[in-house]
Structure 1
Amino acid sequence: MATETEPVGQQIPPKPTDPPTVPRATRVKAAFAEQRKHAAARTRDWLATNDLDHLDIVEAATKKKDKKYDEKLVQQERLAGEAVARQKVAHARHDTDPGSVSKSELAALTGRAAAEEAKLETLRAKPKLPPTDREITATRAAKKAGRAAIVAGGGIASLPVLGATIEQAATGQPMLLAALGAAAGYGWYLVSRPFDAGQPAPAPNTGEQPLAAAVVNLAKDGLQPGQREFNAPPPPALTVEQLEDALRAIGEIRGEEKIQILAVPQREKDGNTTVVFDLPPRTTVAELKKKLPKLAGALGRDVSMVDVTKAGTEARASLWLTDQDAFEDTRPSPLIKAPSQLDAFKEGVPVAWNKRGITIRLAINNQSYVIAGMTRSGKGVGASNLVVGTSFDPRINLRIVAGKNNGEWDPYAKTGVASTYFKPNPERLLALLKALLADKDRRERDLGALGKSKLVGPVIEQIGGIELLVIDELATYTRPGKPLRDEILEALIELSAVAAGAGILMVLITQYPEADVIPQALAMNCGARWAMRVENATQSNAILGGGQASAGRDASKFDPPRPGFGWLVNPFAGVTDLARSFDLDEDERGEITMLLEKAAKIREKAGRLAGQWDDPIEKHLLNTTGLSSAAGGPKRDGAPGRNVLQLTPEQRMQMDACRGCLIAMNDLGRDVAQLDEMAELIGESMTADRLGELLRAAGAGSTVKVVIEGRGRVNGYRRAPITDALQFLEGA
């Protein structure tokens, strides 16, 4: 069979050849080199902390600062707890065996416990400030150093795929790779993807759900036994947009202006929120504070739920807000729980709390006080917190001048806490003011001899303690037309102006905060002022100072008004804030008497109860008027009388016998009685013969014939002679 053959001389074209084959190893090497470039870019970016924006660093710095504060607080709580425990143990040993612990050791332990508790309270009251620029910079530097340390430690260099990049100071994403461990291949994929400098790397789990939610679902589905549920933090109580809208609504932001957030507004452990931001350059924090009520309204809160303070510069504001009104409920005085000796000069006494719930302590040094407000505003409770607190410092001599004849201030006399106490008496008040002015001269001489220009803590006892003059219902003495008004005002103004440095201070209480009751010359020298509810802005300014109402501090606009709630201005403590006094009740719960009885024991141990020490002020009053008002006078009711402390023991027994007879007659329901029945009712081993001796010596005379129903005509006493004898002894 013939076969077809190719023509002779015709060339068959060659088959096309494949392109030159690149060896696989070369391709892998090139791909790996490209990946290393991406990894190097990512790791350089990571080492430079470019993956963390400014707010991330601020948040980290804030957490670091808060942690340091919390650690310091825990440490101080431990120190305070140990000091209180040592004090209680020592007192328990002393009660069991009085000779086992000396009084000086007890006093030292008590002082140490009070000091540590005061430090703790001060630390708790100290506001948490946002991190400074220096602290923020240090936090970023620490982040960089920590990441560099990981590289230097070789933890990432041990991974072969990254070894070459270390020479370029790059390690990929080491924290992620370290967490992945055996999944190094997937880790290499994450860091070797294409990367544009300055752009964050995409999240490794872009898809249907975020990583946190995936972890929660895995735990709930039981795919990872023992896996804990991830609890996300609560949402912020305030967004940046909401804050800007509120500031724009009150005119603090205009046009295209923006605020710069420095501390992220996150909800704190106690449910409150703090955000630090810079205002536009044309305004200040002071201007913003004037608009605080409007800002609170724009944020949907009451003014008592919002606070603004300066955070360093004039335009840097720290905004604090809460969702609950701190003044809604009353609070008991901390002294009820812990009625211990205080250092009122240095640490102050607890009187109220502010909108952040922090206890406000007022120190008894360098300044006098004005507490004012209309009837039922709670000024009396506020004043009681201050005066009761000072009674726990035995170095303070309380001089109380009541403006009414009721028994509001009687407990201070009955417990012996009040060095001086009397009820409305302008002549005696003027004599007291002159005595204090004279004592001011003596104190200044003593301070000069000690080389001091003013009173300081270590020399308080050497010059006779601190004089605290409390005048309740000041208008009783200073309203136009009152007796001796001009003389009293002149003495008050002089004391307020020149006596504070010598340790003579005042607490002036009134429900008529008007210029003719508290003249400007007097008010300006009273540094601390507490304005409860008043009728109008003029009265508010009379207490707090001119222009305060226009600055947002107006005590006539409390809505709703609450007892003890008002504006408290105390420049020495850096306080200008809303405050509510602790609830302290005498009429129903007897809390003031209870606390004063505790204070009296402290004073008795220190030898500073009325009558235990040589009181130059009462001595001056006795010499001037012939009557004593020490501890409220002989009856301890605010009525001055003959100085009981100067009577002989026999005269005191005569007084007690007369009083006992009058009480016995009251019990018998008649104005005549026999010696034997009165002696029986008096008790305490009193006999009829001894009672007769005491009554005759007191000036009541001998028995006379009296008629008693059922007994007829018998020997006994009538009420009138016994009353006359008692009045003579008391000097009434």
Structure 2
Amino acid sequence: MSIETTPSRNPDDPEWERLVAGLQAEPADPVGDLPLVPEWTRDADARKAVARRAVRRARRAGRRWLARQRTDRGHVKQIARGTRRTHEWVVGFHGVHVQATAHQAHLATREARAAARRARYTLMPAQREKARQFAERAETQALAAIQLHEQARRKVRRGRLLRGGLAYGTPLIADTVAAVEFGGIGLAGGIAATLSVAAWIGRKPQTEETWDHERRSIGDGDRLDEPMLNQAYQAAKVIGGDQTLTMVMPCMLTADAQAWEAVFDLPGGLPTRKALNATEALAGAFGVAVQQFHQSRGDREGRVHLRVSLQLPFTGAPIQGPLLAMERVSLWESVPMGVNLRSESVWTSWVERSGLFGGEPGSGKSAAANDLLLAAALDPTVRLYLADGKAGADITPFEPIAAMYDTDGNPERLLEILTHIWEVEVPERRALAKEYGSRKLTAAMAARDPRVYLAVLLVDEWSSYGAAADRKTREECERLLRLIVQQGRALGIITLAATQKPDADSVPTGIRDILSIRWAMRCLTPQASDTILGQGYAAAGHNAQDILKSQRGVGIYMDGEGAEPELVRSYYYDDDEVELILERAHKLREEAGTLPGSGPSLADRLRERGTEGQILAVLVDEFTAGGDNVDWLPGSVLLNALRAVGLDVTPERLAALVVRSPADKKKREWAGSLVAGYPRALVFDTAQQLIERT
């Protein structure tokens, strides 16, 4: 069957009209030009999803715009750059030619003046004529140079006026007309248009491209996520461009919204040290300061714990310590020492430990040492032995409750303190340990026996004592301190050394190596930081040189329990708070009867121990009457004191009772003569031995 397509001879044929109408009707979309709109996009949830996507894109665009403003591509810098380029175009470079013509005119004028002077003072007629002609030519050249200079100046001035009128006059006229015609809106629009033109002129920086809209960093306000993490570690050359980190804990903002944290594993075969050694490069990749960036080792090799603070940590007001709210402290338990980066309180057990605090002056060592001393003061059973080599006032408030102290930086007094601890405290504690059949004193023993207690020895600025002492005294002090640290640890003697200059002269190497708790405040060099923490810690990312001066009381803290060092800020107690705590400590010790001198005196206990005790009691009274500064008395003075109370003691008997070494028998000057005598420390040690023996 065929369909006729030629026009019908009868235009009124209805069948023809039906066929033609069907053939000529166009479909709604014959070639599919209209977009295909899925059915699912027409409901409310789809519209909300599209709106959320639009908001997210707008937020990202806003962040990118803000990030761009900090670079050379920022609009403010573009306007400034365009204004500067416009001004340079107006001024032009022709000023150099003006300066050149001015220089030539100056030289020609000087030569013409010199030629005229020679012509004036030439005596020979022939030579005078030649000189006159030369002077005229020089004058002509000078006038020509001056005229050339004036022409150059006029030309440059005319060009600057034309360019200045075009560059400055055009926008000024346009803004003025807009302000007259449309008021404030017109003026604002004119200014906006002028600034837009300036930004367009300065759109290209003079240096290479420095802004990348794809670059994201925490310093620019972006969120920390896995792509940023990989990009930063690749940029710092910790991992290769084709390697990625394996996330153990996703990137999360801390509960206080002060830092980003993440835990991840490095690619196989890469040690943790490689990441720890790239601290500066990683901080730059994240767009933050080195002080805001902190890494630590995980529980296995290759695992890294990352924390990036949004602001510089520990730069606010000092942190008030919890000891103000504690009525009493037991030093057998952990005590608060400071706050770490996670705003967690750091509690440390000092039992069977010793410490070294170091850092430059003003870094906060005294405040850090006070955390231990004030806690020890609030334990009424703890004895305090304090020595300050710099003769400062840091330990002066503790004097009323200290068993022995030195605030004058006197090496002889330090030797007396160390000798007492080694010859009195250590034997007593060793006897107690043997009595209990134990190698050390414990908290369980202290709970049952009041004779078991802790003692704290603070030696501040050992180098000052060493500089003021003679060689023999210095070596003896060093020997005793080493013995006390080594053997006193298990016997309840806690030793703390603090120094401003952490080196072998400040704290001898043999002593420094056995001090377990370390706190490195701000140091001037990585070597000084390693002196406190141990060799290699600075290279592993724990460098106290990175601590800022504004971060007082902040240091890298190593608690001696094998944990990774961390940044900790010590608690701070001002003078009024220290006085308040020490008043409470004094009251506790007064109630417990542990204040120095609160029990029977040494002399009273000696008098109960026969004739020898009575003799030693008189000697102790004689030294005590002279004050703590009396460290030696002649034998004649002591014998006279004995006769005054009715004890007829010969010099031989006194020498047999208080046995002196050859060094102790050395004569000293007294009242203008060299006489033999007895050291205070020897008399008191003999008295203590008699009490222990009987």
- Give the TM-score normalised by structure 2: 0.54
Superposition map of 1:102-117 within 5 A: none
CA distance in 2 between partners of 1:317 and 1:435 (Å): 48
Superposition map of 1:64-463 within 5 A: 207-210=46-49, 237-271=223-257, 272-335=259-322, 337-348=324-335, 350-413=336-399, 416-423=400-407, 424-438=409-423, 439-460=425-446, 461-463=449-451
Cα distance per residue 1:387-433 (max 9 Å; x no partner): 112211223211111224444322112xx321222333222322221
The corresponding residue for 2:465 is 477
538 and 268 in structure 1: CA distance in 2 versus 1, 3 angstrom threshold: closer
Secondary structure of the 1:612 match is coil
CA distance in 1 between partners of 2:439 and 2:562 (Å): 22
407 and 453 in structure 1: CA distance in 2 versus 1, 3 angstrom threshold: same
516 and 318 in structure 1: CA distance in 2 versus 1, 3 angstrom threshold: closer
> Does structure 2 conserve the Cα–Cα contact (< 8 Å) formed by 1:629 and 1:639?
no
State the 1:524 CA deviation: 0.6
Residue type at the aligned position of 2:226: V
Secondary structure of the 1:540 match is helix
State the 1:472 CA deviation: 1.9
CA distance in 2 between partners of 1:572 and 1:640 (Å): 43
> Does structure 1 conserve the Cα–Cα contact (< 8 Å) formed by 2:542 and 2:565?
no
Cα distance per residue 1:436-492 (max 9 Å; x no partner): 122323312311221222222112354431111112222122248646111111111
State the 1:256 CA deviation: 1.2
Secondary structure of the 1:208 match is helix
CA distance in 2 between partners of 1:503 and 1:307 (Å): 35
CA distance in 1 between partners of 2:466 and 2:387 (Å): 13
> Does structure 2 conserve the Cα–Cα contact (< 8 Å) formed by 1:467 and 1:505?
yes
Tell me whether 1:605 sits opposite 2:594 in the alignment: no
> Does structure 2 conserve the Cα–Cα contact (< 8 Å) formed by 1:467 and 1:504?
yes
The corresponding residue for 1:570 is 559
The corresponding residue for 2:94 is none
The corresponding residue for 2:514 is 525
Residue type at the aligned position of 1:451: G
* Stretch moving more, 377-386 or 305-314: 305-314
The corresponding residue for 1:662 is none
615 and 553 in structure 1: CA distance in 2 versus 1, 3 angstrom threshold: farther
CA distance in 2 between partners of 1:243 and 1:310 (Å): 17
Superposition map of 1:9-24 within 5 A: none
Cα distance per residue 1:122-164 (max 9 Å; x no partner): xxxxxxxxxxxxxxxxxxxxxxxxxxxxxxxxxxxxxxxxxxx
State the 1:625 CA deviation: 12
503 and 398 in structure 1: CA distance in 2 versus 1, 3 angstrom threshold: same
CA distance in 1 between partners of 2:512 and 2:558 (Å): 13
Secondary structure of the 2:47 match is coil
294 and 578 in structure 1: CA distance in 2 versus 1, 3 angstrom threshold: farther
CA distance in 1 between partners of 2:385 and 2:556 (Å): 26
406 and 273 in structure 1: CA distance in 2 versus 1, 3 angstrom threshold: closer
Secondary structure of the 2:242 match is coil
State the 1:500 CA deviation: 0.4
> Does structure 1 conserve the Cα–Cα contact (< 8 Å) formed by 2:291 and 2:547?
no
CA distance in 2 between partners of 1:516 and 1:499 (Å): 23
> Does structure 2 conserve the Cα–Cα contact (< 8 Å) formed by 1:422 and 1:639?
no
602 and 353 in structure 1: CA distance in 2 versus 1, 3 angstrom threshold: same
Secondary structure of the 1:400 match is strand
262 and 611 in structure 1: CA distance in 2 versus 1, 3 angstrom threshold: same
398 and 371 in structure 1: CA distance in 2 versus 1, 3 angstrom threshold: same
State the 1:536 CA deviation: 2.4
CA distance in 2 between partners of 1:603 and 1:573 (Å): 35
422 and 332 in structure 1: CA distance in 2 versus 1, 3 angstrom threshold: same
Identity %: 24
Cα distance per residue 1:84-141 (max 9 Å; x no partner): xxxxxxxxxxxxxxxxxxxxxxxxxxxxxxxxxxxxxxxxxxxxxxxxxxxxxxxxxx
Q: How many residue pairs end up in the alignment?
A: 414
CA distance in 2 between partners of 1:624 and 1:470 (Å): 30
520 and 398 in structure 1: CA distance in 2 versus 1, 3 angstrom threshold: same
Secondary structure of the 1:578 match is strand
Which protein is bigger by CA-based radius of gyration? 2
Secondary structure of the 1:549 match is coil
Secondary structure of the 2:351 match is coil
- Give the TM-score normalised by structure 1: 0.51
> Does structure 2 conserve the Cα–Cα contact (< 8 Å) formed by 1:335 and 1:595?
no
Residue type at the aligned position of 2:412: E
Gaps of 5+ in 2: 1-39, 56-220, 607-614, 633-694
> Does structure 2 conserve the Cα–Cα contact (< 8 Å) formed by 1:304 and 1:355?
no
Which structure has the highest helix share of the two?
Answer: 2
Cα distance per residue 1:188-223 (max 9 Å; x no partner): xxxxxxxxxxxxx99997633329959x9xxxxxxx
The corresponding residue for 1:466 is 454
State the 1:240 CA deviation: 1.0
2:490 counterpart (484, 494, 501): 501
Cα distance per residue 1:348-399 (max 9 Å; x no partner): 2x22222222222232211111122222222122212221122112232111
Gaps of 5+ in 1: 1-200, 217-234, 643-732
State the 1:629 CA deviation: 14
State the 1:607 CA deviation: 2.7
CA distance in 2 between partners of 1:421 and 1:628 (Å): 19
557 and 456 in structure 1: CA distance in 2 versus 1, 3 angstrom threshold: same
> Does structure 1 conserve the Cα–Cα contact (< 8 Å) formed by 2:461 and 2:500?
yes
Secondary structure of the 1:550 match is coil
573 and 262 in structure 1: CA distance in 2 versus 1, 3 angstrom threshold: closer
CA distance in 2 between partners of 1:284 and 1:628 (Å): 67
Cα distance per residue 1:651-702 (max 9 Å; x no partner): xxxxxxxxxxxxxxxxxxxxxxxxxxxxxxxxxxxxxxxxxxxxxxxxxxxx
Cα distance per residue 1:609-638 (max 9 Å; x no partner): 222357999999x979967999xx9999x8
State the 1:266 CA deviation: 2.8
627 and 289 in structure 1: CA distance in 2 versus 1, 3 angstrom threshold: farther
534 and 263 in structure 1: CA distance in 2 versus 1, 3 angstrom threshold: closer
Secondary structure of the 1:408 match is coil
> Does structure 2 conserve the Cα–Cα contact (< 8 Å) formed by 1:345 and 1:363?
yes
State the 1:522 CA deviation: 0.5
